[in-house]
């Protein structure tokens, strides 16, 4: 054993101060919207499964777990029944999962009742999928929550995990959460549990809310610059926040995680690939152009893209449809957070002066909000291109068989029917009666009929309001 038993127990005591009568230290007063779901799974799980919390680095997974630990202690759970560890620690990584439990129970003997295990960054341990499967199957007295920032549930270990764990995909902060964490006083806007409610609003209601929401615009632009990573969001200087975000992504994920977990040796080429994606965010991915510019082979480029998805840094959006033609079509690329591109490219506030880059950032932010709200119910997300003029719809959400199209038009002028020919054609071809357009100006908030006979109603909603309502905690299904 590397490290004496006394040294290892000392590490465990540091991570579990409640064993000595303490509580988790330095927890923020705010809670992510996902807190309630995680807590409910630990207190009264709807099924006997472990909980898998996946997401990128630095988005608050550890804080969320420790807040649930604090909640358990507050409800009177015995401190010796709760174990928290992070396998970022080299000694615990070498100790392994079974060795960890053995050491824990040498200090805290097993007794009747439920045990609570919180295992952070479990991807660093060997054969964790098989271990977790056996725990769920044979250790019914344990409730287990694990996190992973570099191994999503889909992919490695998927087969053994079916029915053994429930996945919560934690995204970066929503705009609503960002405002709460920053303690920004927000206007008193009406609660909207579903964007479909807005189709029934009068023009007067929309104009009144648009006027009240004006203070949100500046904060929304800062949100695009700082991003939804909690630590970066709270740094006063935008340039310092972007610098920290760049270092976390480039140094910790691209250079460390990719090497340690996936054995990547060509780190420079991987970094260049990621920079290329930052320059083409929200656009169609041109693999031949990427390979030509970076001097890599197609197989290498596709492998890099897969790894970037595995580390939750990008989303690859397929085209809408089926068949061979779709298989040959190109993917769209979204980054995990709107602030990643300006941070990695060291753009500072210049993003706000570039209409094209700003539009791409808004589209990225909106996609994240829609994905976070719908992913557990959606069959899939895609974009659409069709017709002789190659018209496009930015995002199609297939929610339980219902198609919901979204278009992003973040520009100063009001959006009219003439700019929505792609949306109109898609709705006509697929018999969709409602769609949404994300606009820039707060006054560009209305319901617009589309089609010769007004077959489709389109909600035009300003981006700050759309993201605010989509991210609002404790709301029902959205849209």
Kindly report, residue by residue over 147-201, the tens digit of the pLDDT: 998 764 344 444 445 678 999 999 999 999 999 999 999 899 999 988 999 999 9
| Same domain, yes or no: 204 and 298 | yes
Residue 63 within a domain: yes
The predicted-structure confidence for 253-303, as pLDDT tens digits, reads as follows 888 889 888 889 899 999 999 999 999 998 899 999 999 999 999 999 999
pLDDT at 261: 82
Same domain, yes or no: 317 and 443: yes
pTM: 0.91
Q: Using CA atoms, how far apart are residues 225 and 409, in angstroms rounded to an integer?
A: 19
* pLDDT tens profile 199-245: 999 999 999 999 999 999 999 999 999 999 999 999 989 999 999 99
Q: Which of 82, 103, 102, 99 is nearest to 145 (CA)?
A: 82
Check residue 2 and give its pLDDT.
64
Strand pairing of 378-386 and 391-399? antiparallel
Query: Per the domain annotation, does 46 fall within a domain?
Result: yes
Residue range(s) defining the domain that contains residue 59:
5-170
In a domain, 479, yes or no: no
Is 87 within a domain? Answer: yes
- Mark whether 166 and 180 lie in a shared domain: no
- CA–CA dist 396, 394 (Å, integer): 7
pLDDT at residue 477 in the model: 40
Residue 420 maps to a domain = yes
Where is the domain boundary, 117, 137, 170?
Answer: 170
Residue 476 covered by a domain: no
| 134 and 25 within one domain | yes
| Last residue in a domain, options 170, 187, 221 | 170
Assess whether 157 and 219 both reside in one domain.
Answer: no
Q: Are residues 307 and 217 in the same domain?
A: yes
pLDDT > 70: percent of the chain:
93
116 vs 76: CA distance, rounded Å: 13
Residues 240 and 282 in one domain: yes
Domain-terminating residue out of 107, 139, 170: 170
Q: Are residues 429 and 455 in the same domain?
A: yes
C-beta of residue 338 within 8 angstroms of C-beta of residue 371:
no
Verify that 164 and 181 share a domain, yes or no: no
Same domain, 110 and 251: no
Render pLDDT for 424-473 as a digit per residue (tens, 0 to 9).
999 999 999 999 999 999 999 999 999 888 889 999 999 999 999 999 84
Judge whether 188 lies within some domain. Answer: yes
Q: Domain of 96: which CATH number?
A: 3.40.50.300
- Is 382 part of a structural domain of the chain? yes
Residue 153: the pLDDT is 38
The answer to whether residues 52 and 128 belong to one domain is yes
- For the chain, the domain total comes to 2
Long-range contacts formed by 371-374: CB under 8 A, 24+ apart: 371/171, 371/315, 372/169, 372/171, 372/174, 372/470, 372/471, 373/470, 373/477, 373/478, 373/479, 374/399, 374/478, 374/479
Verify that 111 and 220 share a domain, yes or no: no
Closest by CA to 370, choosing from 341, 339, 330, 398, is 398
Q: What's the rounded Cα separation, in Å, for the pair 479 and 301?
A: 36
Q: Is the pLDDT score of 327 beyond 80?
A: no
């Amino acid at each position: 054993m590397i490290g004496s038993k006394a040294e290892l127990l000392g590490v465990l005591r540091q991570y579990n101060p409640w064993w000595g009568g303490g509580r988790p230290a330095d927890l923020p007063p705010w809670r992510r919207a996902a807190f309630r779901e995680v807590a409910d799974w630990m207190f009264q799980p709807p099924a006997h499964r472990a909980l898998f919390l996946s997401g990128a680095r630095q988005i608050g997974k550890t804080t969320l777990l420790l807040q649930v630990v604090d909640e358990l202690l507050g409800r009177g759970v015995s401190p010796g029944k709760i174990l928290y560890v992070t396998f970022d620690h080299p000694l615990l990584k070498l100790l392994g999962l079974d060795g960890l439990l053995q050491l824990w129970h040498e200090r805290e003997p097993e007794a009747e009742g439920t045990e609570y295990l919180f295992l952070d960054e479990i991807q660093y341990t060997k054969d964790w999928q098989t271990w977790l499967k056996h725990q769920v199957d044979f250790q019914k007295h344990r409730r287990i929550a694990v996190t992973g920032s570099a191994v999503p549930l889909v992919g490695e270990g998927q087969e053994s995990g079916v029915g053994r764990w429930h996945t919560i995909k934690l995204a970066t902060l929503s705009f609503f959460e960002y405002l709460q964490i920053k303690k920004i006083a927000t206007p008193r806007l009406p609660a909207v549990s579903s964007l479909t409610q807005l189709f029934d609003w009068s023009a007067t209601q929309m104009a009144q809310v648009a006027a009240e929401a004006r203070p949100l615009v500046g904060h929304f632009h800062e949100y695009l610059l700082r991003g939804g990573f909690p630590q970066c969001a709270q740094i006063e200087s935008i340039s310092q926040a972007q610098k920290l975000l760049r270092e976390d992504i480039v140094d910790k994920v691209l250079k460390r995680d990719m090497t340690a977990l996936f054995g990547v040796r060509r780190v420079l080429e991987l970094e260049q690939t990621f920079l290329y994606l930052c320059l083409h965010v929200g656009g169609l991915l041109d693999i031949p152009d990427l390979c030509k510019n970076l001097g890599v082979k197609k197989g290498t480029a596709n492998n890099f893209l897969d790894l970037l998805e595995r580390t939750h840094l990008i989303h690859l959006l397929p085209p809408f449809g089926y068949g061979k033609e779709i298989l040959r079509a190109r993917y769209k690329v979204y980054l995990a957070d709107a602030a990643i591109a300006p941070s990695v490219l060291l753009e500072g506030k210049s993003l706000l002066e570039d209409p094209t880059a700003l539009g791409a950032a808004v589209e990225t932010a909106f996609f994240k909000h829609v994905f976070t709200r719908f992913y557990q119910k959606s069959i899939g997300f895609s974009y659409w291109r069709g017709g002789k003029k190659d018209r496009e719809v930015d995002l199609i959400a297939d929610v339980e068989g219902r198609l919901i199209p979204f278009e992003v038009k973040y520009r100063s002028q009001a959006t009219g029917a003439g700019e929505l020919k792609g949306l109109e054609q898609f709705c006509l071809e697929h018999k969709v009666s409602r769609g949404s357009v994300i606009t820039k100006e707060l006054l560009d908030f209305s319901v617009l009929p589309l089609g010769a006979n007004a077959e489709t109603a389109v909600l035009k909603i300003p981006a700050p309001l759309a993201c605010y309502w989509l991210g609002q905690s404790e709301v029902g299904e959205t849209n």
